[in-house]
Amino acid sequence: MEAAVTKRFAQLSDREVLDRVMHGEQELYEIIIRRYNPYLYKVARSYGYRHDESQDLMQETFVSTYFNLDKFEYRSTFKTWIIRIMLNNCYQKSQKAAYKREVANLEYNNEMMKPMFSNSHDTDPGQTMTNRELGQVIERAITTLPFEYRMVFSLREISGMNTFETAEALDITEANVKVRLNRAKKMLQAEIEKSYAPEEIYEFNLIYCDPMVNKVMTRIKSLT
């Protein structure tokens, strides 16, 4: 899709885009991919996956979502729906990884997924820390959060979802979201909250957006 066309249709709401996609304008699905790339990336990274693993999960989610659009009944926002699909894919991948470790009896340390903000010497282009020392502080703090608190913190503070959307995505009550978020913040070191903006922890850099769009659209076309 040409840039001018993309910009023109980008003003459409999710529902308008999806309706047109389901009525044959397949190319407009690109708008959905670009719109939700950052959200899905942050979900995967918060789950503990590396940059490359996160991209694979994103592609899988966008493709499966496309082929299940007829099941979306607008009982929730599309954002909530696709994030729940992403969360489920992340969970399924973690279960498969755990099963493979058990069957193959591999060493646990070799099979552990890297936590957010890994200190590994491997270069991760998806990690945008501007201060290494501060990055280490954030890593230690966030990775110590119990999973349920970490996911609430990620969706609310990093992805910018509201309480209602977070509750729907995680299938918990809004009250639980508020309680877990408050507890998560209390668990984090005070200096993090004072000196670091949560939304800057990591981003799906725009240089990866076009390749993701191309991969997903190529896969969809090959399956239709």
Q: Specify the pLDDT at position 112.
A: 39
pLDDT in tens, 96-115: 766 555 444 444 343 433 33
Q: Map 35-101 to HEC letters.
A: HHHHHHHHHHHHHCCCHHHHHHHHHHHHHHHHCCHHHCCCCCCHHHHHHHHHHHHHHHHHHHHHHHH
Q: Note the pLDDT of residue 154.
A: 86
Q: Tell which residue, 41, 30, 33, 38, has the closest CA to residue 2.
A: 30
Return the minimum-mean-pLDDT range out of 3-17, 117-131, 178-192, 196-210.
117-131
> Considering the chain, what percentage of its residues have pLDDT values greater than 90?
48
All domains of the chain in start order, with CATH:
13-116+204-224 (1.10.1740.10), 128-201 (1.10.10.10)
With tokens 């959905």, the residue in question is: 32
CB atoms under 10 Å from CB of 62, counted, come to 25
Q: What pLDDT was estimated at residue 160?
A: 87
Q: Which residues contact 194 (CB under 8 A, 6 or more apart)?
A: none
**169-185 pLDDT, tens digit each:** 999 999 999 999 999 88
pLDDT of residue 152: 93
* SS3 call for 195: helix
Q: What is the pLDDT of residues 45-67, one digit of tens each?
A: 888 888 899 999 999 999 999 99
Higher pLDDT: 7 or 83? It is: 83
- For the chain, give the mean pLDDT: 79
